[in-house]
Amino acid sequence: MLAVGLFALAASCRHDPAKFEGPDPSTMPDEVRGDYVLFTLRCSKCHSLARPLQSGITDDVFWTEYVERMRLQPASGISPDDATHILRFLHYFSSGKVMRADEQHPQQLPWNRDGGT
């Protein structure tokens, strides 16, 4: 009886390969790749990356408000500087440029007025 139970338990715990939640960083310009890594570290602490990546949001003002709301959550660990990098990645991603490495670099944005990377 114990063997049958262990067999049933093992059969129900089959291992499926993890699904890749986000884009391939190697398809991104160097200027955005670090922003994406920070996005994955900070944003996956509280929710899946699919939540923002599949939201369909393309408005930079909305992203700014959304990231600020997330930044103010006690467990987010998102600093104001982190928010700048996260927003730069989200702009890049939502502009549809994420899959093409030959696209132009992210433009100067309201949260990045100095034009820095």
CA distances from 74 to 21, 46, 61, 82 (A): 24, 10, 23, 15
Query: Which pLDDT value is given to residue 37?
Result: 93
pLDDT for res 65: 95
pLDDT of residue 12: 46
Residue type at 116 in one-letter notation: G
What pLDDT does 99 receive? 46
Residue ranges covered by each domain of the chain: 23-101
> Which pLDDT score is estimated for 61?
94
Q: What is the pTM of this model?
A: 0.66
Could you tell me the fold of the domain covering 23-101?
Cytochrome Bc1 Complex; Chain D, domain 2 (1.10.760)
Nearest alpha carbon to residue 65 among 5, 110, 10, 11: 110
Each residue's pLDDT, cut to its tens digit, for the chain (117 residues) gives 655 444 444 444 444 444 446 778 888 888 899 999 999 999 998 888 888 988 889 999 999 999 999 999 988 999 999 999 999 999 999 887 654 333 344 444 555 545 444
The predicted pLDDT at position 80 comes to: 95
pLDDT at 112 (0 to 100)? 54
pLDDT of 95 reads 85
